[in-house]
């Protein structure tokens, strides 16, 4: 049986480091924390979280920081590494060894794959991976699952399409790993060039029924959850390759006429042009609810890892 004490001091580097039972515990605990979003709490009073963001972010950094403030804790960090000592050539290892002297927990976003794992090896305090290059974004997967569960009341039994940049999209990688712990059917929908990373596909295909497609319209009528991602332009080694896929898919109202009436559409955001804005006002659109769910799931994670939860 999983209990709150199992999370104390844990890193969150890959969603693969967590079992289904542990993820279910986090999801359940997140829903119990919902009232605290309004009322706040002093569960993390005296605790300090450092957010080290070497890449742009709106939601992830602000939601971690808001989560910490809601629980009575404090926040230090940077989101512009060019004005920190990184600019002077300080290594990630040294940055981590310094920051851990100030903070009880470190939230790191970095363009290099493996950066979060590397940081966790140096840090004596827990490290949360808020995005490691094109690799993974585990806390996004938790909030995505939480949104699915909240909207659909279950995860098992659903048919879920992950659509968009499955090659470079770290949120799609973490979510695919996480969903493979459930009894779901997965459609992976992308342009040929942006097919799901092979290592992810190899990992999940023994556990879930999964198929690859290039056109969403082929499968849309069967889908319960459509998870759309933007093309990760900044990850392309060659911009002429990006030019070949730019604007190659878009969800619009006419397409949704073939969808189930209770389909939900998720997106980690930011959106560029892959979901038409006219979809925003339909009951399908749940991407702004996801943002709200990011706050409560991060409150849950921080309080569990920092040992503030009494059984």
The Cα 241–Cα 226 span in angstroms is 26
- The minimum distance between CB 37 and ligand NCD, in angstroms, equals 18
Q: Decide if 306 contacts 104 (C-beta within 8 A).
A: yes
Which residue, 70 or 267, has its beta carbon nearer to ligand NCD? Answer: 267
Q: Decide if 163 contacts 225 (C-beta within 8 A).
A: no
- Give the length of the chain: 311
Choosing from 38, 39, 88, 257, the catalytic residue is 88
Q: Decide if 297 contacts 146 (C-beta within 8 A).
A: yes
137 is catalytic: yes
Which residue, 243 or 272, has its beta carbon nearer to ligand NCD? Answer: 272
- The minimum distance between CB 275 and ligand NCD, in angstroms, equals 12
230 is catalytic: no
Which residue, 100 or 165, has its beta carbon nearer to ligand NCD? Answer: 165
DSSP assigned state of 167: T
267 is catalytic: no
60 is catalytic: yes
Which residue, 138 or 268, has its beta carbon nearer to ligand NCD? Answer: 268
Q: Which residues contribute to the site for ligand NCD (CB under 6 A)?
A: 59-60, 131, 137, 140, 170-171, 229-230, 268-270
185 is catalytic: no
Choosing from 59, 195, 207, 250, the catalytic residue is 59
**Cβ contacts of 128 within 8 Å, gap of 6 or more:** 11, 12, 64, 105, 106, 107, 108, 116, 139, 301, 305
- What is the token pair recorded at 249? 């898919």
Q: Is the peptide bond before 219 cis (omega within 30 degrees of 0)?
A: no
Choosing from 47, 70, 137, 230, the catalytic residue is 137
Choosing from 70, 109, 110, 230, the catalytic residue is 109
Residue number with the smallest Cβ distance to ligand NCD: 268
Active site residues: 59-60, 88, 109, 137
């Amino acid at each position: 049986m999983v209990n709150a004490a199992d999370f104390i001091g844990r890193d969150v580097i890959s969603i693969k480091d967590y079992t289904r039972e542990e993820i279910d515990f986090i999801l359940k605990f997140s829903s119990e924390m919902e009232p605290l979003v309004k009322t706040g709490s002093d569960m993390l009073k005296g605790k300090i979280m450092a957010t080290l963001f070497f890449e742009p972010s709106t939601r992830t950094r602000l939601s971690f920081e808001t989560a910490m403030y809601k629980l009575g804790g404090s926040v230090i960090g940077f989101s512009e590494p060019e004005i920190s000592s990184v600019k002077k050539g300080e290594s990630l290892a040294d940055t981590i060894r310094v920051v851990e002297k100030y903070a009880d927990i470190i939230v790191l976003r970095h363009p290099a794959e493996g950066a979060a794992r590397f940081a966790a090896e140096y840090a004596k305090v827990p490290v949360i991976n808020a995005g490691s290059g094109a690799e993974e974004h585990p806390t996004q997967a938790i909030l995505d699952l939480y949104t699915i569960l909240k909207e659909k009341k279950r995860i098992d039994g659903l048919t879920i399409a992950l659509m968009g940049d499955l090659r470079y999209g770290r949120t799609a990688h973490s979510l695919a790993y996480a969903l493979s712990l459930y009894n779901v059917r997965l459609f992976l929908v992308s342009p040929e060039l942006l097919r799901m990373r092979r290592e992810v596909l190899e990992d999940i295909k023994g556990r879930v029924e999964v198929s690859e497609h290039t056109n969403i319209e082929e499968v849309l009528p069967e889908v319960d959850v459509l998870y759309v991602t933007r093309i990760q332009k900044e990850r392309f080694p060659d911009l002429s390759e990006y030019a070949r896929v730019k604007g190659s898919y878009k969800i619009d109202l006419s397409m949704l006429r073939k969808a189930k009436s209770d389909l939900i559409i998720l997106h980690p955001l930011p959106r560029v042009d892959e979901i038409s804005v006219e979809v925003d006002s339909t009951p399908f659109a749940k991407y702004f609810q996801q943002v709200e769910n990011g706050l409560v799931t991060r409150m849950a994670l921080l309080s569990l890892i920092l040992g503030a939860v009494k059984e």
